[in-house]
Structure 1
Amino acid sequence: MISRQQRGFTFVEVLVALVIIAVGVTGLVSLQRTFTQGSVRAAERSAALEIAQHRLELLRFNEYADIVSGSATVARDGKDYQVVWTVTPQYYHNGWKTSGDVGLPNPLPSEPDAKAALVQVSWTSRGGEADAASVEGWLSKFNMRDGGLVITNPPPRSEPKVTYNPGAAPEVIAIKLTDDSNATLFQVKETTRPTPSVLTKDGRRMVTFDTVTYDQATQTQRVEDFATVECLCKFVGIQDDVGRTPQRLILKDDQLTLDPDGGKLVRKMVGEPADSNQPELCVECCRDHHDNEEMVASGNVYREESAAARLPSGDHRHFRASSFILGTGLAQASLNENYLEVCRMRRIDGWYEVYPDWEMQAVTVSTSEYLVDEASNQTYANYVRAVIRALVLGEALPAAPNDRDATLMNGSYQLIGRAIYLDKMSDSHLQAVISAIQNGEDDWLTKVPFYEVNNTLLGDWDSSNTGVATVTNEEIETIVDPDRNYYGNYSRGRLTTVAGGTTQVTMLSQGGNTGIIGRPPIHVRDIGRDISSAMNITVEERSGETTYFAVSGEFHCLFNKVTGNTSSWQDCKKNDYNGLTISASDLNVTCSFSFVGKSATPIYSCNGIQQGSSLSIQFGSSNPGMVFTPSVISVSNIQANDPEQDIDIRINN
């Protein structure tokens, strides 16, 4: 007789077990399939974005007249991607306008001031669904009103040639790297994107922009792709060969080049992200943004700080996150504690690596029209060169251009803020630049690692007399949520007149890395290092004559993106406004709209409305899918500037 302990499994028990195993295996297979599909779709989207960016770069390197719309099919990893690029002309006349807009220059220039390029890539995903991605950029002709750049063709050569297209003022300013006003071959440096791009993730920010230096003699260029990222980190401790030394530019054979000793693994303090809800670059930021004694001795450190303030390991100080969040003062963080960090990073060989901190030296504010004007633009570019020269020689900084004050009629106007940054150079590097200046070398500026950046959307703006004019200083947001009235953008530096008189408009920018992301200081060294710039605004009020007023407001635009069987609302891009028109029933009233960069809220303004007038303002578009709410604004017996009347736009294509 078989005991209970010796008895085997019954057929029913075996059958039940097999069913349970089968169900579990089926779930695992399904889960694996889901993971695989997600990975494939991510790879497809990454490939599509690379294709779109590559096409945009190809357009940038074309001759200006050859930058036209087109299409192509690109094969990548066995899949066909359909690429369509749409190029639209852009004219600057009281703001940027394109064909069909009201208020275009008359007569129309033979060539547009700039061209907006939208590159759209579509493909069929592995699951059979339609998918798409897009990028956009602005390109400008050679003789832009940004310093009178000249392109002279060098002798024929076998190497690939690069055609340089200067960026469009007022968003982008090209700085000639020569003191010779008669030079026909020289280097040019500019921040290529109209404004820094601001992203947010769980309240933390990352700002990216490019700087390009183009050499006309050799028709080559160096592109520096920067990211400044905000992280919440946690101290781990001192470790061997985990953290890296900073990357930086040094002077070799009279040319700026990457330091071969940069990015090396050394023994030093390291950190790690305190949680997973942060930008991916926080892994490198938390790990590498620490110094050691050897780095201090060599002068190649991430953050400048006095020797007395540094830790025994040579590291610069870090401060507890709670100190800044709760406003309880600056308390130094210790091992295993959380601390706030902001890192400047540069893309090197395809990867972002941590760079020495930003060092802001000067800021300047002006109207958009000031920077578009050729003479004023040249004045500002000369000022930038003078600032860098004074910093190198250890002299007092020159005063900002004194012709920036403006007299305006009633209306809304976008102001521009710009900042100058200079990286620390080694003693030998600095002495080489000083010698070049003293020896009268016209191209001494090619040896200096400086950057001129449009920080309109990152500075803090204020008007001294809000009874005369107000200026926007909205919270930095990039959230898209129609129900909560967020539109993926925000406004700073937009001036709206209220009444006749004078006001002083000021923009204040924080020094160091936090200034780039628009945050308060996170280190004691940065407290009090903010720099401001001001300009006087006079609003005309003509006594005894007809008084004029304005109607203005913002465009709150959302685009309904359809992917396969799903759709989602996304914030509109510049090209989505192509074909938009604003017209007033009074033909003497001029209406226009403009915006600065892809993160700014577009604004419209109808100026020159005579006191007591009654009229209507109508919004329309050549795009039948663009719906305005309201589409018409009625003004009756106007006696003051109308309160801002914002327009909601929904685009269904």
Structure 2
Amino acid sequence: MKAQSGFSLLEVLIAIAIMLFGIAGYVRLQSHYIKLDHTLNLRQQALSLAARKLDDLQSFSLLQPSEGEISYQNISSDTGGRIAAGEVLLKLWQSQSQTTPFDLHWRVKNMYFVDTDNDDIADSWLPDDDVNLPATLPVIAPKKALQIIVSWQDQFGESLNVTLNSELTPVPFVRSAQVQNTGLGSILPLRVMHQPPTDNLSPLHTLNLTQAVQGIAPAIEVLGDNNMVEIEQTTLELVVPEYQEKYKEAQLVVSCDCRLAENGLGKTPSVTRIEGEALVTQLGQDIVKERGIVADDQHTRCEQCCNDHHDTSGMVDTQNYYRLEDGLKHRHYARLGENSFQEALLIGDEYQEVCRFKRIDGFYHIVPDWELLAITEFDARHLNLENNRNAYTDFIRQRLKAYIQNSTVTVGLDGRNLNLSLGRFQLAAYALYVERLYSEDKAYLNELIADGDERWLALTPFYDINVTLLANWHSSDNQIVNILQQAIQTVENVEQDYYASYQRGLIETLISGRTRVYASMNGSNSGLVGQFPLSPFEALYVVEGSGIEIDVQP
């Protein structure tokens, strides 16, 4: 019998069924891969967008807000940088014209390193909404916790998102770029090379062969009827051939409106002391004393200012006072008019106060009032010349030495008088302030001076501050030279044409003749915020410069 060849119908049907199942599986698998590929592309785009936003936020160049600039202070939830929050349209592939919407948002929490177990040593990072934070916090948060969230919907309508967590610290990009090539395993401290201020407003004061100090013109913030002034000074250490930053000190001087309150806990001032061969700050302590409460709509520091800036007889005896008047603890007054004051004596009575804060270990602490030693007037370009800078820094040195030795000031500063034609010319004023020293510390500095020991200058806490836009100006003859004194205004971006912020210390020479122009300020903290004297005592102790003689020859 002849054998049959080929496949039966059943075998063919079975083979076709197997093939159909395989093809269907392949199609499903291919569809899965396509979906997965699309999802991965969306995820990659989302991660890329989150990374770009992180770079955007890290690229701030300033700490304080300034129009047109990215600043650390402006970074908060959905705020900061140049990439806006909300919908962002992106292409999955460069070749396609269709865009896919992504939703970009970020959350920011200011973080503070604080003492949580009451042993006076900071031990934990806490967010800005934590109930355990102290009442007084730094104006600039030491760290910002950052969470960037990018969400989207895939082609099937499923909601997806990616999250990128990071942290920001108040180190501007222009400075952080210096550490890009730094070895992370190095045990040497990071060198931050000094970048001299570009404003030509801040002379460098050499303390010894290896150290110097230099400040910048103060930033000014107008707060309704009150003002706040921020002052920075950098201690520099010589690393041949240039300086590196060793320590940057930030201070705030704030004017406040207060009312007397019931007695309670308030801090004594944090006082500068000499320990060994260094200046240190002895933190204040809580004691029961007179207190005040802050009026509405005041600077955030005013709560502490009104509460703490009160002295007792015991504080005077131990030299832990804020300010003396006629050798006694200072009193508080409401100013009724020029040289007219009403003392605050009863609970609820209003008064004005001006407090100085120093940033210590990241936190602002209230410190004693400054002592104003001298005001010096110049043409605004005077210190551009090296010879003039050297003469001025030597003058400052001599004034400090006279203060420590309790001697009469005999040294003056020549070469400041001006011969001018008709027109407008900008003047400048500098104020020399010192921290109030304990009597034993001042005696120690006096011994160093007597022994010819040059360490005395580095151990003298002084501040040379440009007060052109804060001092009170007047001309002895307004017919010859008139001087403009526009109301104090906010000046945040110090480096951009400081004197053009508003017209103060700007003279107009009108006719031929000679006159003198003077700058003056109250002798305590109140002068730095352009405040009127706080008491009848302050009204009697206004410090005035020796003036500039101006010879106008049209």
TM-score, shorter chain, exceeding 0.5? yes
> Offset at 1:467?
3.1
> Offset at 1:334?
2.5
Q: State the distance in 1 between where 2:338 and 2:76 align.
A: 51
> Offset at 1:165?
2.4
Q: 5+ residue gaps in structure 2?
A: 1-52, 88-102, 107-169, 175-185, 493-499
TM-score when normalising by structure 1: 0.55
Q: 1:472 aligns with which of 484, 488, 491?
A: 484
1:226 matched to which residue of 2?
251
Q: 1:238 aligns with which of 250, 258, 263?
A: 263
1:340 matched to which residue of 2?
352
Question: Residue 189 of structure 1 aligns to a residue in which SS?
Answer: strand
2:539 matched to which residue of 1?
527
Q: State the distance in 1 between where 2:58 and 2:226 align.
A: 24
Q: State the distance in 2 between where 1:164 and 1:521 align.
A: 38
Q: State the distance in 2 between where 1:48 and 1:436 align.
A: 50
2:24 matched to which residue of 1?
none
Distance of aligned partners of 1:348 and 1:435 in 2 relative to their CA distance in 1, 3 Å threshold: same
Q: 2:228 aligns with which of 191, 201, 206?
A: 206
Q: State the distance in 2 between where 1:232 and 1:440 align.
A: 47
Q: Deviations over 1:235-276 (max 9, x none)?
A: 12221xx311211221111111111xx2322222221102x2
Q: Deviations over 1:74-119 (max 9, x none)?
A: xx999897xxxxxxxxxxxxxxxxxxxxxxxxxxxxxxxxxxxxxx
The code of the aligned residue for 1:235 comes to: L
> Offset at 1:52?
3.6
Q: Deviations over 1:288-308 (max 9, x none)?
A: 11123442222011112345x
1:269 matched to which residue of 2?
290
> Offset at 1:356?
0.4
2:196 matched to which residue of 1?
166
Distance of aligned partners of 1:453 and 1:71 in 2 relative to their CA distance in 1, 3 Å threshold: closer
The code of the aligned residue for 1:318 comes to: H
Q: 5+ residue gaps in structure 1?
A: 1-43, 57-69, 82-120, 140-155, 179-184, 311-315, 481-487, 542-653
> Offset at 1:206?
1.1
8 Å contact from structure 1 (residues 415, 493) kept in 2: yes
Matched, 1:349 2:365: no
Distance of aligned partners of 1:436 and 1:168 in 2 relative to their CA distance in 1, 3 Å threshold: farther
Distance of aligned partners of 1:296 and 1:49 in 2 relative to their CA distance in 1, 3 Å threshold: farther
Q: State the distance in 1 between where 2:419 and 2:350 align.
A: 50
* Match runs of 1:283-322 below 5 Å: 283-306=303-326, 309-310=328-329, 316-319=330-333, 321=334
The code of the aligned residue for 1:374 comes to: E
8 Å contact from structure 1 (residues 167, 173) kept in 2: no
Q: 2:85 aligns with which of 125, 132, 135?
A: 125
* Match runs of 1:190-205 below 5 Å: 190-192=214-216, 194=217, 196-205=218-227
Q: State the distance in 2 between where 1:282 and 1:48 align.
A: 31
Q: 1:376 aligns with which of 380, 384, 388?
A: 388
8 Å contact from structure 2 (residues 86, 104) kept in 1: yes
Question: Residue 227 of structure 1 aligns to a residue in which SS?
Answer: strand
> Offset at 1:126?
5.9
> Offset at 1:231?
0.9
Q: State the distance in 1 between where 2:418 and 2:337 align.
A: 39
> Offset at 1:466?
2.8
1:186 matched to which residue of 2?
210
8 Å contact from structure 1 (residues 324, 522) kept in 2: no
2:302 matched to which residue of 1?
282
> Offset at 1:458?
0.9
8 Å contact from structure 1 (residues 215, 221) kept in 2: yes
Distance of aligned partners of 1:124 and 1:288 in 2 relative to their CA distance in 1, 3 Å threshold: same
> Offset at 1:422?
1.4
Q: Deviations over 1:371-411 (max 9, x none)?
A: 11110111011000000000001111234312110112333
The code of the aligned residue for 2:551 comes to: T
Q: State the distance in 2 between where 1:257 and 1:208 align.
A: 21
> Offset at 1:494?
0.8
1:537 matched to which residue of 2?
550
> Offset at 1:443?
2.8
The code of the aligned residue for 1:125 comes to: A
* Match runs of 1:481-630 below 5 Å: 489-533=501-545, 534-541=547-554
1:215 matched to which residue of 2?
237
Distance of aligned partners of 1:528 and 1:129 in 2 relative to their CA distance in 1, 3 Å threshold: farther
* Match runs of 1:246-261 below 5 Å: 246-259=269-282
8 Å contact from structure 1 (residues 364, 400) kept in 2: no
Q: Deviations over 1:519-542 (max 9, x none)?
A: 21012331221121211111224x
> Offset at 1:512?
0.7
Q: State the distance in 1 between where 2:405 and 2:424 align.
A: 41
8 Å contact from structure 1 (residues 190, 212) kept in 2: yes
8 Å contact from structure 1 (residues 366, 417) kept in 2: yes
Q: State the distance in 1 between where 2:403 and 2:386 align.
A: 26
Matched, 1:53 2:62: yes
Q: State the distance in 2 between where 1:49 and 1:201 align.
A: 30
Q: Deviations over 1:206-243 (max 9, x none)?
A: 1111111212269452222111111111112221xx31
Distance of aligned partners of 1:479 and 1:264 in 2 relative to their CA distance in 1, 3 Å threshold: closer
2:453 matched to which residue of 1?
441
Q: State the distance in 2 between where 1:469 and 1:326 align.
A: 25
Q: 1:324 aligns with which of 336, 346, 352?
A: 336
TM-score when normalising by structure 2: 0.64
8 Å contact from structure 1 (residues 80, 123) kept in 2: no
Q: State the distance in 2 between where 1:528 and 1:453 align.
A: 23
Q: Deviations over 1:12-46 (max 9, x none)?
A: xxxxxxxxxxxxxxxxxxxxxxxxxxxxxxxx9xx
Q: Deviations over 1:504-528 (max 9, x none)?
A: 1111212111100112101233122
Q: State the distance in 2 between where 1:216 and 1:288 align.
A: 39
The code of the aligned residue for 1:283 comes to: E
8 Å contact from structure 2 (residues 423, 508) kept in 1: yes
8 Å contact from structure 2 (residues 339, 536) kept in 1: no
Q: State the distance in 2 between where 1:300 and 1:493 align.
A: 37
8 Å contact from structure 2 (residues 356, 366) kept in 1: yes
Distance of aligned partners of 1:49 and 1:467 in 2 relative to their CA distance in 1, 3 Å threshold: farther
Q: State the distance in 2 between where 1:333 and 1:207 align.
A: 29
The code of the aligned residue for 1:199 comes to: E
Q: State the distance in 2 between where 1:129 and 1:413 align.
A: 51
Aligned length: 395
Percent of aligned positions that are identical: 25
> Offset at 1:327?
6.5
> Offset at 1:325?
5.0
Q: State the distance in 2 between where 1:532 and 1:72 align.
A: 38
Question: Residue 464 of structure 2 aligns to a residue in which SS?
Answer: strand
8 Å contact from structure 2 (residues 257, 352) kept in 1: yes
Distance of aligned partners of 1:72 and 1:392 in 2 relative to their CA distance in 1, 3 Å threshold: closer
